[in-house]
Structures are given as C-alpha cells and as structure tokens.
Amino acid sequence: MPAPVCQDKSYTFKDMTGITSKEKYLGDPTKTDWVMDGHAVPYKNSLLLTMAPSTVGTVLATSRYLWYGNVKARFKTGRGKGVVTAFILLSDVKDEIDYEYVGVDLKTAQTNYYYQGITNCKSPSTYPSAFNPILTPTRQRRR
C-alpha cells in the first residue's frame, strides 16, 4: 500500500477504540489509527502502556506517516531503574528523534537523533552538535 499520509487530528485515549495489535494490522490506515505492540489498558481516562514480565514494554505507533507538521504529546513517565518512557519520531529509513525519560531521573529529559540509523555522529558539518527539534528533522531528511 502507498505510505498513508498523516491527517490533522487530536487523539484522546479513554478506551481502546482505534487501536489494533500489530498481529492484526494489515497495513490499511483507514481501519485503525494506532498499532500496538505489547499490552495497553484504559486507566483513568488515559491509556496505560504496560511493561509485562519478560517484555521490553509496550509501543503505540500511529498508522499514518508524518511528512511535516507539529506533534504534541502529553504523557506520564514510568518509574524505576531501567524503565525508559519515550516519545519517538521514526521513519522507515531509520531517521529518528527521541525524547525520553529514564526512570531513575524523572526531572531530566534526554534527546537522541539518528540519520538513517547512524548512531556514531562524528562530523559536525553533517550532524549538528546540539539537538534542535525544529531544524534537525528537516535538515536530516534533505541529505
């Protein structure tokens, strides 16, 4: 199927409406808004992404692509050593922007960015030394 273009929408997660498990998703974004890997449950007019034993946690991903625009999310962090709560923009070619909290330091957000999966960024002319959430995605995608 062609890449499904993102639409201007706001989402609230009061129940599991519009969420499909990755095992049941067949690639048609008109059938669901979100694809879930793991287990989530409705909790106090929100969605609780669980971290079941012997798993790495739950991932919730949109069924559409974001070509440009503005993305906002409001979430609460998980607590505990080794627990990471993250909001990630990720492309099929492994361009990635992460905004994450590590469970032992909930007052400090950490950011990472990758261009086509390259994690060892050495060239300052190619990879900005400071993370800029406004300029970085555009600059990286044009290279």
Q: Which of 34, 36, 40, 96 is catalytic?
A: 96
Q: How many CB atoms lie within 10 A of CB 97?
A: 19
Between vectors from CA 105 to CA 52 and to CA 58, what angle results, nearest 5°?
25
For the question of residue 23 being annotated catalytic, the response is no
Binned at pLDDT 50, 70 and 90, residue 132 comes out as very low
Q: Is 100 a catalytic residue?
A: yes
Mean pLDDT over 26-39 rounds to 91
H helical segments located in the chain: 136-141
Largest Cα span, the chain: 47
Q: What pLDDT, on a 0 to 100 scale, did the predictor assign at position 17? A: 93
pTM over 0.75: no
From the list 100, 106, 109, 139, the catalytic residue is 100
